[in-house]
Amino acid sequence: MSLKQSKDGYFRTSISFEGRKYQVAGKTEAEAYKKAGKLRSELESGRRKKRQGVTLAVFAKEWLQTYHGTGSENDKRYEQIVKGIIIPELGAKKLRNITESELQRFLNDHSDSSFSQLSKIRMTLKQIFHKARKNHLIVDDPAEDLVLPDCKKGTHRSLTPRETYLLLQAASERPDGLYMKIMLYCGLRPQEVDVLQWRFVDLDKKVIYVRQALKHKTSIIGPPKSDAGERDVPIPDVLLEELKPRAAGPDEFVINRNGKHLTESSRYRLWKAIYKRMDILAGAVVYRNEIVEHAIAQDLDLYDLRHTYCTNLQSSGVALNIAKELMGHEDVTVTANIYTHTVSDNLHDAIGSLGAFMAGEATRQETEEKKRSADRPAESEEDRKARGRAAKLRSQLRVISA
């Protein structure tokens, strides 16, 4: 801070604050310095008062622009987390009112995300609130001690050929079972199938245009998970034949409940119903409409259908770089270590291979399933009920012994 004595005998100096200069004067050097310090304190106090009501959305956007505004791939990932996940759920809240328990519940609500995704969300929150405290917008940092909830660490697996057969059988028994087939044959994310409209399904060109997705924990329709999520996915012939008779108006949802798109809860109920039916078709023991002895593994997840699509691409000879495009992965390392540009013909050729591969598997599984059914001894209604009661008793005994 420079100090000069003017012709009138006063000592003058200036301070800069938020791009503006302020002049102060005093009869002595000490008085001038004291006035400058007081003015700066008043200005800073006024700024803090003015910004007490700033929301997380406003500051998070400032943070993005200041610290992650280069347009790099890493910065784009931060932007997707902030604008696609954090702001829709927490953006309207004032920074100073957000508590640690509120942020922890927010993380817990996203425990169905992958370990990698959840770690990125936590890291982003920690960085945003750290800078908010450094800028004197909050006194305490509510994100400092956030912990990761239990979440999946690469636990998705592919359906076995028999599980795939049972899934297709169960899905074929109900109109909304088409949901499962779209995931299995096109690899769409559940959030993308939830809000898929017929205007994005081109039956002539045999393509699904993925352009929107359901936002987590909301009924809001937004863009896909990432820029790479916006993609064109060829439709295998086996699925095309099921879509054609169902085609409707452009704004109607392919899978709907009374004309409205699915929600996370209705999607969950659909999957549980399909999963239960798969179990029953496989020979599960049912007692009073409840399965008391399972016939298939109980570790399946809806996302495993998408995982199966990807592994089926590999099994049918599709190059991993093409699989990366079809899956809508932003980071090529998720599906391959190299990336090359793909064209539409390559994609359609790839889906032709996939369709042939899955059709062959379906035929083989149908033959095996018929053989299993033929080998099962005939069972009377009374025998079936007795078997159910026995299984129920075994289940209760296991609980008691545990």
Q: Transcribe 196-225 into DSSP letters.
A: -BGGGEETTTTEEEE--EEPTTSS-EE--S
Do 187 and 102 share a domain, yes or no?
Answer: no
| 150 domain-assigned | no
For the chain, how many helices (H) and strands (E)? 15, 12
Do 112 and 239 share a domain, yes or no?
Answer: no
Do 26 and 93 share a domain, yes or no?
Answer: no
Q: Does the model's pTM come out above 0.85?
A: no
Q: What is the CATH number of the domain that holds 246?
A: 1.10.443.10
Q: What is the pLDDT of residue 312?
A: 87
Q: 343 pLDDT exceeds 80?
A: no
The values of phi and psi at residue 253, to 5°, are -85, 140
Do 172 and 275 share a domain, yes or no?
Answer: yes
Q: 203 pLDDT exceeds 80?
A: yes
| 70 domain-assigned | yes
Q: What is the pLDDT of residue 85?
A: 84
| 152 domain-assigned | no
Mean of per-residue pLDDT scores for the chain: 83
Do 269 and 362 share a domain, yes or no?
Answer: yes
Overall number of domains in the chain: 3
Residue 54 per-residue DSSP state? -
Do 219 and 349 share a domain, yes or no?
Answer: yes
The CA dihedral of 129, 133, 137, 139, to the nearest 10 degrees, is 110
Q: 310 pLDDT exceeds 50?
A: yes
Q: 232 pLDDT exceeds 60?
A: yes
Q: What is the pLDDT of residue 181?
A: 97
Chain centroid offset of residue 295 CA: 30
Do 169 and 290 share a domain, yes or no?
Answer: yes
Do 262 and 217 share a domain, yes or no?
Answer: yes
- What's the pLDDT band for 33 if we cut at 50, 70, 90? confident
Do 214 and 78 share a domain, yes or no?
Answer: no
pLDDT digits (tens, 9 = 90+) for 81-94: 898 789 988 999 99
Do 171 and 274 share a domain, yes or no?
Answer: yes
| 144 domain-assigned | no
Q: What is the pLDDT of residue 342?
A: 36
Do 201 and 250 share a domain, yes or no?
Answer: yes
Tell me which of 112 and 55 has the higher pLDDT: 55
Which residues form the domain of 199? 161-389
**d(C-alpha 348, C-alpha 345), whole Å:** 5
**d(C-alpha 151, C-alpha 115), whole Å:** 6
Question: In terms of Cα–Cα distance, which of 27, 334, 8 is closest to 156?
Answer: 334
| 375 domain-assigned | yes
Give the mean pLDDT of 348-362. 64
Do 109 and 244 share a domain, yes or no?
Answer: no
**d(C-alpha 366, C-alpha 172), whole Å:** 14
What residues contact residue 14 under an 8 Å CB cut-off, 6+ apart?
1, 2, 21, 22, 23, 24
Chain centroid offset of residue 263 CA: 14
Give the mean pLDDT of 35-44. 80
Residue where one domain finishes, among candidates 14, 30, 50: 50
- CA–CA–CA angle 168, 173, 175 (5° rounding): 100
User: Dihedral of CA 80/81/83/88: which sign?
Assistant: positive
Residue where one domain finishes, among candidates 134, 151, 176: 134
Q: What is the CATH number of the domain that holds 86?
A: 1.10.150.130
pLDDT digits (tens, 9 = 90+) for 124-144: 999 999 999 888 788 789 999
Through-space distance between the first and last CA atoms of the chain, rounded to whole angstroms: 76
Q: What is the pLDDT of residue 137?
A: 84
Q: What is the pLDDT of residue 118?
A: 86
| 333 domain-assigned | yes
Give the mean pLDDT of 34-55. 73
